[in-house]
Each structure stands twice: as structure tokens, then as C-alpha cells.
């Protein structure tokens, strides 16, 4: 994570800071974070594209009918849910390039390949990183379980809803090809456990994808 991490930790340690303060810090530093990623290769650019756009997309979906989640909480979870991927890419570049190539070429899931290569997933590492930073436990749990729909029923209801929304946002972006070498066009969103957990129906797929696509275009235009 770039230097913004230090600012985020300081905000988290301040009892007068809110999740909205953390979101504001991240948004203010978004341009410099993007510039930093431009200096790296395709892997870093894809990771940054997905994470940077997952934040605003999640905040937008948080207000979709019936979901009713705090957009600021959704934004932060969306932006940081793949922090473990960034950590792995920074510390084990060649190994993570292999992970990404395997995922794309063999149509496999990130967590499966990561577990084979490292013995743990980006979700587990990301949760540990965020916990070490002293960020809220709800964010730790969201990051840890966003690839584990079987845990939704075990989590606190509010945390579970944020976790499900983060999962759905990430899947929508993947289906649209954001942060990937190609779109996951065959991904059936309505068949995902997180989709049902948020009481979404098959009829919601098209409007949600359209809303995500529009929000992504807006965010991309603003960030340049």
C-alpha cells in the first residue's frame, strides 16, 4: 500500500475519526496512488484498476433498492478488499505474476491458485494487514471472508451485508472486465450466494451491471 496507509492508520487510531474521514483521506490521495501505479507493469495496473473502481462502485450499489448499506463503509471495503493482492504482488512479484497468468489462462479462482503457490490467500493476508493497521474489525472480517459465502450466515448481520456487497461489487467488475485481461462474460451473478443473501433477483442483474458500468465510466473520467 502506498504512503496513504500511514494516514489511514492515524485516522483509525483517532477516536474522533469516522469511516467517512478514512474514505476522504483515500479519495484525496487517489491521484498520487494512480500515478504511482503507472510506474509499474500490467499486473499492478490491473490490481489498481479493480480496487480503485470497486470503491465508488460499492458506494453506488450500497444505495440500490433494498440494500441500504452506509455508502462510506461500502466504499472503504470495496477499495481495500484486495489489499492482500497488492501486498503479495509487491513482496513476491514473479510468483504473483504466475498466479495471475494461471487464473486468466486456466479460468481458475484467485484463492485456489494463491493457496497452491503461497499456502494462503490474498483474503487471509489482507485481513491480517488491515488488522495490523488497527482498522475496524468489521473491515477485517469483510476482507477475510469476501470469497467465502459460507461464512455469511456466521457473521454479524451488518458485517455480512457489507461482505456480500463487496463480493457482488467485485464480481460485477470482473464480469465487466475491470482489472482483468478479459471480461468474465459467462459469470452468472444471480447464481452467487452473496446475490441471494442481499435478496437480489435475476431481474436485478442488468440494472446493477448498467449502474456499475456507468459509475466506472464516471470515476475513470474524473481520475483521468
Q: What is the pLDDT of residue 1?
A: 42
For 7-18, the pLDDT digits (tens) are 555 555 555 655
- Domain 4-86+122-223: what homologous superfamily? Hypothetical protein af1432 (1.10.3210.10)
pLDDT band at residue 2, thresholds of 50, 70 and 90?
very low
Q: Are 125 and 147 in contact (CB under 8 A)?
A: no
For 90-110, the pLDDT digits (tens) are 889 899 999 999 998 888 899
- Please state the domain extents for the chain: 4-86+122-223
Amino acid at each position: 500500500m502506498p504512503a496513504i496507509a500511514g494516514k489511514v492508520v492515524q485516522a483509525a487510531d483517532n477516536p474522533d475519526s469516522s469511516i467517512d474521514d478514512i474514505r476522504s483521506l483515500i479519495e484525496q490521495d487517489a491521484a498520487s496512488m494512480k500515478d504511482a501505479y503507472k510506474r509499474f507493469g500490467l499486473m499492478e495496473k490491473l490490481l489498481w484498476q479493480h480496487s480503485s473502481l470497486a470503491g465508488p462502485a460499492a458506494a453506488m450499489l450500497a444505495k440500490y433498492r433494498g440494500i441500504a448499506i452506509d455508502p462510506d463503509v461500502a466504499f472503504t471495503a470495496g477499495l481495500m478488499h484486495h489489499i492482500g493482492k497488492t501486498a503479495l504482488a509487491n513482496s513476491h512479484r514473479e510468483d504473483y505474476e504466475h498466479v495471475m497468468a494461471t487464473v486468466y489462462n486456466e479460468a481458475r479462482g484467485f484463492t485456489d491458485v494463491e493457496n497452491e503457490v503461497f499456502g494462503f490467500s490474498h483474503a487471509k493476508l489482507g485481513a491480517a494487514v488491515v488488522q495490523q493497521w488497527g482498522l475496524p474489525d468489521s473491515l477485517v472480517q469483510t476482507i477475510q471472508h469476501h470469497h467465502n459465502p459460507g461464512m455469511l450466515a456466521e457473521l454479524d448481520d451488518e458485517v455480512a451485508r457489507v461482505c456480500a456487497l463487496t463480493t457482488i461489487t467485485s464480481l460485477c467488475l470482473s464480469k465487466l472486465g475491470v482489472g482483468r485481461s478479459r471480461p468474465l462474460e459467462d459469470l452468472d451473478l444471480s447464481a452467487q450466494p452473496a446475490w441471494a443473501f442481499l435478496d437480489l433477483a435475476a431481474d436485478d442483474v442488468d440494472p446493477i451491471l448498467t449502474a456499475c458500468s456507468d459509475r466506472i465510466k464516471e470515476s475513470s473520467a474524473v481520475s483521468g
